[in-house]
Amino acid sequence: MLRAHTGTAVRAAEQPLLEAGQGDALMRRAAWGLAQHVLAELRRRGPVAGSTVAALVGSGNNGGDALWALSFLRRRGVHTVAVPASRSRALHDDGHAALLAAGGQVVDQVPSGAAVVIDGILGTGARGAFELPDGLVLPEGATVVACDVPSGVDADTGQVLGEVIPADVTVTFGAVKAGLLLGAGAQAAGRVELVEIGLGPYLGAPDLLSVGEPELRAAFAPPRWDDHKYSRGVLGAAAGSEQYPGAAVLVCRAALASGLGMVRLAAPEAVRQLVLGAAPEVVAQDQVGGKATAWVCGPGLGEDESAADRLEAVVVLAAEQGLPVVLDASALSLVSLAQVRRLRAAGAVVVMTPHCGELVALAQRLGAEAGLDAGEWESGLDEDPVGAVRELAETLDVVLVAKGPSTVIVEPGGTVFVQTEGGAELATGGTGDCLAGVIGAVLARGAADAERPAVGMQVAAAVRLHGLAGRAAAADGPFGASALPDQIRSVLATAAAK
Ligand SMILES: NC(=O)C1=CN([C@@H]2O[C@H](COP(=O)(O)OP(=O)(O)OC[C@H]3O[C@@H](n4cnc5c(N)ncnc54)[C@H](OP(=O)(O)O)[C@@H]3O)[C@@H](O)[C@H]2O)[C@@H](O)CC1
Ligand SMILES: Nc1ncnc2c1ncn2[C@@H]1O[C@H](COP(=O)(O)OP(=O)(O)O)[C@@H](O)[C@H]1O
């Protein structure tokens, strides 16, 4: 599990150490770790001695880290140059002295032969929009290593307000910064490497978590020897309509690929026929009902009266039995606040899976009805997307899965998860239907398991599985959503073999 803290939280954790005169020691630890990662990049490319590393150096401590790292690299026979990159061209005094003492140089331009360029312009001290230094040209093919945070990325929110220096690798100090996992920040950060500098005892609870392989394995464990189909979980699905029959196929196939005891589908005749052709193991019926351990409602449901009736039937059943419900797609536009409250009053877990447009619509409709100032909420969405998702989740008292390049999962009063496995290849119709099936499956499985992980963690594991399946599918070229279920099975097979 990856734990991330905002830049603000990391700066607060550093404070007692700075007051105790430990600032230089912290900086040298950070710089040493940065130098080790740069050496690893150089080794990957060829001989270390004789290669050139350039650093773009800002005037603050981020620049100090980069200068000290250059001084360490110089001692390994690397040609090291610092390029002042702030308006004032000021350099951190001790770092500058260390570089010169080691035989490094200060120059005006990044040499065209540089194998690695360290971005040490701005770190957690960045405020507002960033502008690239005038005339900056990075050598083609050079590996860009960001020091702590790519310049231009807000370490708290991942927001990029102005320009940015995208990195291949970000070497971050003390704690992974939340901004490296969110939105444009995650995109700019590339691979993230953490260097411990001894902040552990001073850091509070993480601001964000991201589940990894152990959590995926726990949430999607293979069946036990004595399992039977009901103990493995049964997912009920109210999905598909004459207009959108395929969505029901995707939900059912993705759920089955995630490993559970049974999928039960409530849908009109034409949808049932299509689904049974693709997955004859589905138990297809025309009404919502029967034994299930969780329900998913919405993909391809449409928005007419019969869709509303099917949603109401799911709400009544889930409220009676206290079952978890995933509301996706059409169900997000149809569900009323009264229905959500009925489910919550009955102790049913409610998971909503909006993409960005649906998230805003939810805030404007149900959020506003529940007392949220939707206009103010929307104006804060770009600046602090995690805060906004958390506020809406708490207002509605539901688990929100805000889908996108960084999918944010918030359980009211609980931890915030963010998963970034999925790539833009997932931006193709029907992948959200598959995700609804995977989340439904994990909840159906979890509901039947006495030792289940917390709901947020299960849902985050489902989002990871879906994202990894997308990556795997993309490796074979462009794909449509119906390619995902087979890849879900492969990802689970690989996870189980580890
Ligand atoms: N504290 C510690 O002991 C440790 C800290 N560590 C390291 O320090 C980093 C934080 O260092 P920091 O606090 O000096 O801030 P930093 O990111 O270098 O930027 C400050 C400078 O940038 C400027 N500036 C701001 N915004 C700007 C903009 N948009 N566009 C242009 N300029 C802008 C601002 O100028 P100002 O406008 O305020 O005059 C100021 O000069 C942290 O990320 C980590 O790498 C590690 O070594 C571990 C120990
Ligand atoms: N640019 C992107 N990068 C990564 N994942 C994306 C991107 N765009 C969309 N996705 C993912 O694809 C899925 C799309 O869901 P959704 O919009 O509901 O699709 P549909 O309604 O067509 O099934 C979500 O899991 C979302 O996180």
Q: For residues 409 and 401, is the Cβ–Cβ distance under 8 A?
A: yes
Instruction: Give the per-residue pLDDT at 448.
Output: 66
Instruction: Give the per-residue pLDDT at 450.
Output: 67
- Using a 6 Å CB cutoff, which residues line ligand 1? 14, 18, 23, 26-27, 30, 58-63, 65, 122-130, 147-149, 173, 197
Domains detected in the chain: 2-208 (3.40.50.10260), 213-497 (3.40.1190.20)
pLDDT tens per residue across all 498 residues of the chain: 999 999 999 999 999 999 999 999 999 999 999 999 999 999 999 999 999 999 999 999 999 999 999 999 999 999 999 999 999 999 999 999 999 999 999 999 999 999 999 999 999 999 999 999 999 999 999 999 999 999 999 999 999 999 999 999 999 999 999 999 999 999 999 999 999 999 999 999 999 999 999 999 999 999 999 999 999 999 999 999 999 999 999 999 999 999 999 999 999 999 999 999 999 999 999 999 999 999 999 999 999 999 999 999 999 999 999 999 999 999 999 999 999 999 999 999 999 999 999 999 999 999 999 999 999 999 999 889 999 999 999 999 999 999 999 999 999 988 899 999 999 999 999 999 999 999 999 999 987 676 777 899 999 999 999 999 999 999 999 999 999 999 999 999 999 998
Element (H, E) at 117: strand 116-120
* Ligand 1 atom at minimum distance from 130 CA: 29
Of the candidates 184, 203, 209, the one whose C-alpha atom is nearest the C-alpha of residue 410 is 209
Pocket test for ligand 1, best of 32, 62, 86 (most atoms within 8 A of CB): 62
- Give the integer Cα–Cα distance in Å for 88 and 90: 5
Radius of gyration (C-alpha) of the chain in whole angstroms: 25
Instruction: Report whether residue 404 contacts ligand 2, using a CB cutoff of 6 Å.
Output: yes
Residue count of the chain, please give it.
498
The identity of residue 271, as a single letter, is V
Half-sphere exposure of 420 (CA within 13 A, CB side): 21
Angle value at C-alpha 115, between 114 and 118, nearest 5 degrees: 80
Buried b (16+ CB within 10 A) or exposed e, 214-232: ebbeebbeeeeeeeeeeeb
How far away, in angstroms, is 64 Cα from ligand 2 center? Answer: 40
Q: For residues 70 and 104, is the Cβ–Cβ distance under 8 A?
A: yes
Listed in sequence order, the residues at least 6 apart from 117 whose beta carbon sits closer than 8 Å to its beta carbon are 53, 54, 55, 56, 110, 138, 139, 142, 143, 144, 145
Q: For residues 458 and 212, is the Cβ–Cβ distance under 8 A?
A: no
Kindly tell me the burial class for residue 71, based on how many C-beta atoms sit within 10 Å of its own C-beta (0-12, 13-18, 19 or more). Answer: buried
Pocket test for ligand 2, best of 182, 251, 330, 355 (most atoms within 8 A of CB): 355
- Give the integer Cα–Cα distance in Å for 346 and 416: 24
* Ligand 1 atom at minimum distance from 128 CA: 29
How far away, in angstroms, is 404 Cα from ligand 2 center? Answer: 6
382 is in an annotated binding site: no
How far away, in angstroms, is 320 Cα from ligand 2 center? Answer: 32
Q: By alpha-carbon position, which residue is closest to atom 37 of ligand 1? A: 127
